[in-house]
Amino acid sequence: MSTHSHQIGWKTAAAIVVSNMIGTGIFTTLGFQLSDITNTYSIFLLWVIGGILALVGAFCYAELGSHFKGNGGDFIYLKETYHPVFGYLISWISLIIGFSSPVALAALAMSKYLSVFNYSFGNGFAIIAIFLIAMALSFSLKTSSRFHNFFTFVKVIFIIFLIILGVGLSESPQIGNSLNFSNSWQKEILLPAFATSMVFVTYSYTGWNSASYIAGEIKDVQKNLPKSLIIGTVFVTVSYLLVNYIMLKHAPVSQLAGKEDVMGEAAVNMLGLSFGKIVNIFIALQLIATVSGYLWVGSRLTQAFARESYIWKPLSFGNKKGIPVIAIFAHAVIAAIIILTGSFKEIFVYTAFILQLFASLAISTVYFLKKEDRKIFKSNTFYIFPTVFLLFSVYILYFTLVHNLKESLIGLGIVAVGIILYLIDRKLSEKS
C-alpha cells in the first residue's frame, strides 16, 4: 500500500484554506471601515492588499512548512529559530486569542445575524451555540469530519449563490447605494483610518497559514502546497471583492456604517424582508463551520502544547477515540469568557493586532533559512515576500497601536501574562 493513501492532494488543501479564511471578517467588517473610508476604490484596495499580504505570507509559510517537517506551524518555527519562550507564547496566544477569540467573534456574529427575527439573540445564545458545536466535535473523528464538511459545503455553496444573486439583481433606486468611484480615494489611502482598516482586513484573511499547519499531510508538498495556497487565496480575494461590491451596491453608507450585520442589511434591501431573513439564517449557518474549524485545529495545537507543559498538562488528555475533548472545551470556555468581557469591535481589534504581531514574528524566521534549506523558491528574490509582509505589518501595527491604544494594550497584556506563566511553568517543571 502506498504512503500516499493517507495524504491529501492540492484540492483538499485548497478547500481547507478557503474554509478557514471565509468566516466572520467578510460579513462584519465593512461597517467599521465605512465609518472613515467611503470611497469604493479605497475599500477594494484594502481587500486587494489583504489578499496580496495573505499570499506572500502563505509563500513564506510554505517554505517554512516544508523545511520544518511535520505539523505545528508557528510554534516550531519560533521555538527552533529564536527561543523556547516564543514557542510557549505563540501556544498561549493560540489558546487565548488565536483560536478562542475567532470562535467568540463568529458566535457573536451569528447571534447578531439572527436578531433579524425581532428576538434578541444575545450573548447567551452565542455561548450555547459554542458549547453545542464543541459537543458535536467530541465524539469521534468520523463524526467531526462529517459535521465540519457539511457546514463547509453550506458555506461555499452559499457564498457562490450570494455572489451570483447580488451581482445579478439591480439596486433599488429608493434605497440608494454606497458605491462611490470618485477621486477621493487618493486622499483616503493616506489617512490613518486606512491603516487601521487594514487590521480588519488582515483578520478576515487569517487562515492563509492553515495549509502549512498540515504540510506533513500533503503529498508532493513542494508542488501542491504553493498551488493550494495560490488557488485558495485568489478564490478568497475575488470572493471578498464581490461580497463587498454587493453590500455597497445594495445599501447606503448611512445604513451600513458602524454596524456588524452588514450583509443582512444589504440582503433585506436586495430581496425584501422575508427572503432577506433566509440570507441571515444562511450567514449564521456558514459561521458554524468557522466555529468548528477553529475549535478543531485549535484543540489539536493546544493538546500538543499541553503535553510539553507542566501547568497545562490536563489539556492534553483525550477520550477513548483520541479526541482532545478537554482542549476543545477549554477553548469553548475561554471563548465564553471573552464574549462576557468585551464588545464585538474591542475583541476584534485586540485579536487582529496580536495575531498580526505574531504572524510577523513567525514570518521573520524565514530570514534564517539558508539557500540550500529552501525547497520551493531557490532564488534570492524570495526575500521580497517576507520584506513586503513585514513592512506592511509594521505600518498596520503602528497605526493600530496609536489609534486603538486600549485594545492594543489588552492584547499586549495577554502576551505579558504568557511570559509570567512561562517562567512559572519552567520553575514547576524543574521542581517536578
What tens digit of pLDDT does each residue of 120-160 get?
778 999 999 999 999 988 887 778 778 888 888 888 888 88
Per-residue pLDDT of the chain (432 residues; tens, 9 = 90+): 344 445 777 777 787 778 778 878 888 889 889 888 989 999 999 999 999 999 899 888 878 877 776 556 788 888 888 998 998 999 899 888 888 999 999 999 999 888 877 777 789 999 999 999 999 888 877 787 788 888 888 888 888 888 999 998 888 778 888 888 898 888 998 888 898 888 889 988 987 776 666 666 677 777 787 788 888 888 899 999 999 999 999 999 889 988 888 888 888 888 888 888 888 888 888 888 889 888 888 888 888 888 888 888 898 888 888 788 999 999 999 999 999 998 888 998 999 999 999 999 999 999 998 877 777 777 888 899 999 999 999 999 999 999 899 999 999 999 999 999 999 999 988 887
Does the model's pTM come out above 0.75? yes
- Considering the domain boundaries, does residue 239 fall inside one? yes
Number of domains composing the chain:
1
The C-alpha cell at 359 is 504572524
As beta bridge partners, residue 112 has none
User: What's the count of helices (H) and strands (E) in the chain, helices before strands?
Assistant: 19, 0
- Considering the domain boundaries, does residue 173 fall inside one? yes
CATH number, domain with residue 108: 1.20.1740.10
Q: Residue 385: which of 210, 158, 239, 226 has the closest Cα?
A: 226
Residue 387, Cβ density class (10 Å: 0-12 exposed, 13-18 middle, ≥19 buried): middle
- Considering the domain boundaries, does residue 38 fall inside one? yes
Q: Which domain holds residue 49?
A: 3-427
- Considering the domain boundaries, does residue 432 fall inside one? no
**pLDDT tens, residue by residue, 320-348:** 887 889 999 999 999 999 999 988 889 98
